[in-house]
């Protein structure tokens, strides 16, 4: 039985089980507040890993937290939506490969899909760190809460959270029977069905099953039809061949003059919570999922700007393919001992991603890339958090271990003759990739001491030891490598790379309750981003593949949190200054910028470097106001600026080498950091109309703005400013069992691109323009 059939059958069985159980239970669903009032409800968070969750307004860090009610009220449907609701935050996909995030917070992010490049924004799902950026663009169905922590979080979360951390918690069963089902249809055509069933299995054991299925038929129109031509890349590096649908090796789809961007996503998540005693609980969460369909959609900016293509069109010679499978398990224990809680979180994840992308976006096969990523990880965090008998001390201590193995293989198929204007294509294949074993140990402790009822001091320290062993393909004959053009990678030359890093992460802070409703805070902390290697080691004769030095930063922050006007206005703000040493960057340089790159057949050169020392400063403000009992607004604004203090010899020497080879003065690292939009802002409004016995109508509208930003480090490619206008109207039944919504997303019809490259100024990872949809949800 296929996974698709399994999930479809499971959906049918779960619906039948829930309906029959619901008919027998005959219990009225609880009455819920209107969406406007729910926007003001305070969320509890686990950001400081205390023995108990804390109110978000009591946590002296810059954090935006949404509970299930706020996620529903703001109509947040996936991780990408969040980046338009929070200050100085971008949660976009990379665009090169499906489901790969390039999150940026306060100007710190990556612009790469290289799995060996560590993130600056760590993603934690149910307490488990995601070791690679693949597969973390999640739907918000059955998510209990999401916390967006801005600024370095290294003391409690470790490495690779220099920009911040995204902490997600899936919903847990509480032992009572419950059932939730959702169906959605939107223009595109996209269809979605999701449900969860929970209940008590015994007096001490509760279970939940969550099933999800999404079928996107493809929003984009491909104007090219290559089915009957010889301009289609064959499988396994065979070159240009006639398309033969009977050959099982043809996983990619040729362009057929129709829709593209089709993708099916499905997953099943099971959760068990066992409470054998009043002081002990254990939670087991398992998830199996698959995402399968076309490759990412790319287009040429010239075609869009000249009007030969509409914003929802592409002219790719093939639609490509994507196939991502994952399985993961989390076992969490919480044991109340003395004045505190002993917590252990054991996590496992296995990911396989196989994709093929037409990056040139032309009707001729210029630059097509198949790539394979395999990653498995295991981690364990053991910690004890307690409060002293006199209520003066809050202490959290912990021991952390993380290990992952990564394998990456990529082929670049280039029609160099087309690039050079020849009548017949010249086929060139370049193989890239590598393998890595990555291991990290951490030991940490954090103490809060209440000097008075209003003043609290914080001190903490973390020790980390990390080791990486890698073997990276060297495809550059000028550096002792080999072009390695065979499809099996058997003739490739691998360079062995390894390094070990040790460091200490301190944090000092203070918070003062100026009034009962207003807190002021200040902090200093360090942050570290792991040194890394480059699996796309195309031209090591210019820049070696690593390991790069680890990135280090000193971060200072002051802020305030307040609940004013009898709790009807929540106003939070922060200002920060960050000094980054040895900032790591992922250079993206196209053949149009440096002819040397095209001559090697690489077409787009990507290198990882320590670019230099950078200062980042900014400020942000967030507000939620309940103007009347049925009308609320939420707003945010953020400003961030950066400046290079100096550039490393690695960058200067690489520019000099390119000048020696080509006679060109090239700037590899410009003044602006990629994906840093100086100004971001958002404004939303929620209004509830009480229909008495007929239920409740909720009207929601939002506007978001994001400044232009550089895409690449050389600043030759620029993201345009982005605006997002969304609106929805929702009817809720009198007891909120049923909700039916109609919505429009991106009503201003601005297509957003997740990736660019300098080959011929192509853009990839496009998100949809204007879409409309209807959605129905039933809660029992």
pLDDT score of 412: 82
Q: Please tell me the distance from the alpha carbon of residue 444 to that of residue 315, in angstroms, as a whole number.
A: 53
Tokens coding 591: 């053949």
Q: What is the C-alpha separation between 413 and 237, in angstroms, rounded?
A: 7
Residue whose C-alpha is closest to residue 270's, from 213, 330, 324: 330
Q: Say what the pLDDT of residue 83 is.
A: 83
Which pair of tokens denotes residue 400?
Answer: 């952390």
**Coil, strand, or helix at residue 637?**
strand
pLDDT score recorded for residue 245: 54
Report the distance separating Cα 437 and Cα 132, nearest Å.
13
Distance CA 687, CA 428 (A): 59
DSSP state at residue 120: S
223-241 burial by CB neighbour count: b if 16+ within 10 A, else e? bbebeebebbbbbebeebe
Query: How far apart are the C-alpha atoms of 88 and 774, rounded to whole Å?
Result: 30
Domain that holds residue 113: 3-779
pLDDT on residue 8: 42
Beta bridge partners of residue 139, listed in sequence order: 78
User: Quick one: tokens of 367?
Assistant: 């630059």
List beta partners, residue 729: 699, 742
- 266-279 per-position pLDDT tens digit: 999 999 999 999 99
In the chain, how many domains are there?
1
Give pLDDT, residue 255.
76
Q: Which of 164, 180, 188 is nearest to 61 (CA)?
A: 164
Q: Give the residue ranges of DSSP H helices in 633-774.
A: 649-662
User: What is the structure's pLDDT at 275?
Assistant: 97
CATH number at residue 204: 2.40.170.20
What separation in angstroms does the CA of 515 have from each of 443, 509, 512, 573, 575?
A: 36, 19, 9, 16, 20
Residue 26: the pLDDT is 37
Residue 167 in tokens: 């902490």
d(CA 722, CA 37): 30
472 DSSP β-pair partners: 434, 495
Chain position carrying tokens 């003059």: 257
Q: How far is CA 611 from the centre of its chain?
A: 24
Could you tell me if residue 766 is left (phi over 0), alpha (psi between -120 and 50 degrees) or otherwise beta?
beta
The confidence score (pLDDT) of residue 305 equals: 72
**pLDDT for position 428:** 67
Q: What share of the chain is helix, strand, coil (3-state, %, to 5)?
A: 10, 55, 35
| Buried residues in 456-486 as b, exposed as e (16+ CB within 10 A) | bebebebebebebbbbbbbbbeebebebbbe
Q: Are 248 and 307 within 8 A, CB to CB?
A: no
What's residue 716's pLDDT?
Answer: 84
Task: Measure the CA–CA gap between 288 and 265, rounded to whole angstroms.
Answer: 11
pTM for the full predicted model: 0.92
pLDDT of residue 242: 57
Q: What is the dihedral of CA 533, 537, 543, 547, to 10 degrees?
A: 10
Positions in the chain whose pLDDT score sits under 50: 1-32, 230, 237, 417-425
pLDDT the model gives residue 215:
96
Residue-level pLDDT at 651: 94
For residues 281 and 276, give the distance between their C-alpha atoms in angstroms, rounded to a whole number: 7
Q: What pLDDT shows up at residue 307?
A: 75
Give CA separation, 684 vs 103, 331, 637, in Å: 22, 38, 12
Reading the block at residue 772, the tokens are 């409309």
Quick: pLDDT tens for 64-90: 999 988 888 887 877 778 888 899 998
């Amino acid at each position: 039985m296929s996974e698709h059939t399994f999930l479809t059958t499971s959906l049918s069985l779960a619906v039948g089980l829930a309906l029959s159980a619901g008919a027998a239970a005959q219990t009225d669903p609880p009455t819920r507040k209107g969406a406007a009032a729910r926007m003001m409800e305070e969320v509890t968070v686990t950001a400081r890993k205390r023995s108990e969750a804390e109110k978000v307004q009591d946590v002296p860090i810059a954090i935006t937290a949404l509970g299930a009610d706020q996620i529903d009220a703001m109509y947040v449907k996936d991780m990408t939506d969040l980046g338009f609701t929070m200050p100085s935050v971008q949660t976009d996909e990379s665009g090169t490969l499906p489901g790969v995030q390039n999150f940026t917070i306060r100007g710190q992010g990556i612009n790469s899909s290289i799995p060996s490049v560590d993130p600056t924004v760590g993603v934690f799902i149910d307490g488990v760190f995601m070791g690679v950026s693949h597969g973390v663009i999640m739907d918000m169905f059955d998510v209990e809460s999401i916390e967006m922590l801005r600024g370095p979080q290294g003391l409690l979360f470790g490495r690779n959270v220099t920009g911040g951390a995204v902490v997600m918690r899936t919903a847990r069963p509480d032992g009572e029977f419950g059932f939730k089902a959702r169906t959605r249809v939107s223009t595109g055509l996209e269809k979605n069905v999701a449900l969860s069933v929970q209940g008590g299995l015994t007096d001490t054991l509760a279970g939940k099953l969550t099933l999800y299925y999404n079928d996107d038929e493809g929003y984009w129109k491909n104007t090219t039809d290559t089915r009957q031509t010889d301009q289609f890349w064959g499988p396994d590096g065979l070159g240009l061949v006639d398309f033969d649908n009977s050959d099982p090796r043809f996983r990619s789809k040729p362009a057929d003059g129709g829709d593209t961007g089709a993708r099916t996503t499905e997953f099943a998540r099971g959760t068990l919570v066992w409470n054998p005693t009043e002081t002990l609980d254990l939670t087991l969460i398992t998830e199996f999922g698959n995402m399968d369909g076309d490759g990412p959609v790319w287009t040429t900016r010239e075609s869009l700007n000249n009007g030969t293509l509409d914003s929802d069109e592409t002219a790719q010679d093939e639609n490509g393919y994507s196939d991502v499978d994952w399985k993961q398990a989390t076992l969490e224990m919480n044991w109340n001992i003395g004045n505190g809680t002993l917590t252990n979180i054991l996590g496992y994840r296995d990911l396989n991603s196989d994709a093929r992308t037409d990056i040139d976006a032309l009707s001729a096969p210029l630059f097509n890339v198949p790539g394979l990523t395999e990653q498995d990880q295991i981690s364990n965090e053991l910690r004890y958090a307690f409060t002293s008998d006199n209520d003066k001390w809050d202490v959290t201590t912990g021991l952390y271990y993380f290990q992952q193995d990564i394998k990456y293989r990529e082929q670049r198929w280039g029609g160099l003759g087309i690039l050079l204007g020849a009548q017949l294509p010249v086929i060139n294949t370049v193989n890239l990739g590598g393998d890595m074993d990555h291991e990290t140990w951490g030991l940490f402790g954090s103490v809060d001491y209440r000097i008075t009822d209003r003043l609290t001091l914080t001190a903490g320290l973390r020790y980390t030891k990390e080791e990486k062993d890698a073997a990276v393909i060297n495809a550059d004959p000028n550096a002792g490598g080999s072009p390695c053009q065979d499809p099996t990678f058997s003739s490739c030359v691998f360079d062995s790379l390894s390094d070990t890093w040790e460091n200490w992460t301190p944090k000092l802070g203070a918070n003062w309750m100026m009034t009962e409703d207003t807190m002021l805070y200040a902090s200093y902390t360090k942050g570290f981003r792991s040194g890394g290697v480059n699996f796309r080691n195309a031209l090591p004769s210019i820049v070696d593949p690593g390991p790069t030095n680890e990135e280090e930063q000193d971060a200072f922050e002051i802020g305030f949190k307040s609940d004013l006007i009898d709790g009807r206005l929540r106003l939070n703000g922060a200002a920060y200054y960050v000094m980054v040493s040895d900032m790591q960057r992922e250079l993206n340089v196209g053949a149009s910028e440096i002819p040397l790159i095209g001559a090697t057949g690489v077409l787009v050169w990507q290198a990882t470097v320590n670019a230099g020392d950078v200062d980042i400063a900014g400020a942000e403000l967030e507000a939620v106001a309940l103007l009347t009992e049925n009308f609320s607004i939420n707003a945010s604004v953020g400003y961030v600026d950066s400046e290079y203090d100096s550039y490393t010899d690695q960058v200067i020497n690489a520019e000099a080498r390119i000048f020696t080879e080509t006679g060109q003065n090239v700037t590899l690292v410009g003044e602006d950091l990629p994906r840093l939009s100086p100004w971001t802002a958002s404004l939303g409004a929620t209004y509830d109309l009480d229909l008495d016995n007929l239920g409740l109508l909720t009207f929601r509208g939002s506007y978001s703005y994001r400044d232009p930003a550089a895409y690449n480090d050389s600043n030759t490619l620029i993201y345009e400013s982005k605006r997002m206008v969304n609106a929805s109207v929702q009817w809720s039944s009198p007891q909120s069992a049923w909700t039916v919504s109609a919505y429009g997303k991106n009503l201003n019809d601005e297509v957003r691109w997740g990736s660019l490259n300098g080959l011929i100024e192509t853009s990839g990872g496009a998100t949809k323009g204007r879409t409309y949809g209807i959605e129905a949800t039933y809660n029992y």
